[in-house]
Amino acid sequence: MSDPKLRYDQIVSKLREYNHKLTPQRLAVVKILAHSQGHPNVESIFEQLQKKFPTMSLATVYRNVMLLKSLGEVLEIGLPDGGNRYDGNKPHPHPHVICVRCKSIIDPELDTLKDLNEEVTQETGYRILTHRLDFFGICGNCQKLS
């Protein structure tokens, strides 16, 4: 995991660089995404901000997440059921482990995957731009419940 404070600063300077306004609401969304605890969806970011910004709409949160995604500061993780989750702590492509029961998502630390892009290039001749690698299973908590 990257240092959330550092990620927050990186995202804010990117917003500055592209002349986007730094409203308190926007900065609050950035703060949550810099941590990206558990890879939140837009709804859960919205819920976390309801108390502090009761007038902020779900659409505003969504727009801000999309803005950060377009700047390359947030990674979108599409789930097979159609939901999207977000990681602003590690915005570059990386593998995820997803629980099929409770939908919790974690980042495994896997050194062996570092050279994967290069290996795929050598094997296929493709110039690799990005990749997706997701593992689906049942998390420790859900195993205890079953």
State CA 73 to chain mean position distance.
9
Binding window for Zn ion (CB under 5 A); candidates: 16-24, 43-51, 97-105, 114-122: 97-105
Asked if residues 23 and 12 have their Cβ atoms less than 8 Å apart, the reply is no
Minimum distance of Zn ion from residue 108's CB (angstroms)? 9
Cα angle, residue 21 at apex, residues 17 and 27 outer, rounded to 5°:
95
Q: Is residue 101 part of the contact set for Zn ion (CB under 5 A)?
A: yes
Residue 135 β-bridge partners = 97
Cβ nearer to Zn ion, comparing 101 with 131: 101
Cβ nearer to Zn ion, comparing 52 with 137: 137
The Cα–Cα gap between 127 and 81 comes to 30
3-state SS class at 105: strand
Cβ nearer to Zn ion, comparing 19 with 145: 145
Among 87, 88, 91, 98, binds Zn ion (CB under 5 A): 87
Minimum distance of Zn ion from residue 111's CB (angstroms)? 16
The Cα–Cα gap between 56 and 51 comes to 10
The Cα–Cα gap between 57 and 139 comes to 32
Number of shown-chain residues binding Zn ion (CB under 5 A): 7
Q: One symbol per residue from 114 to 143: x for binding Zn ion (CB under 5 A), - otherwise; what is it?
A: -------------------------x--x-
Binding residues for Zn ion, rule: CB under 5 A, are: 87, 99, 101-102, 107, 139, 142
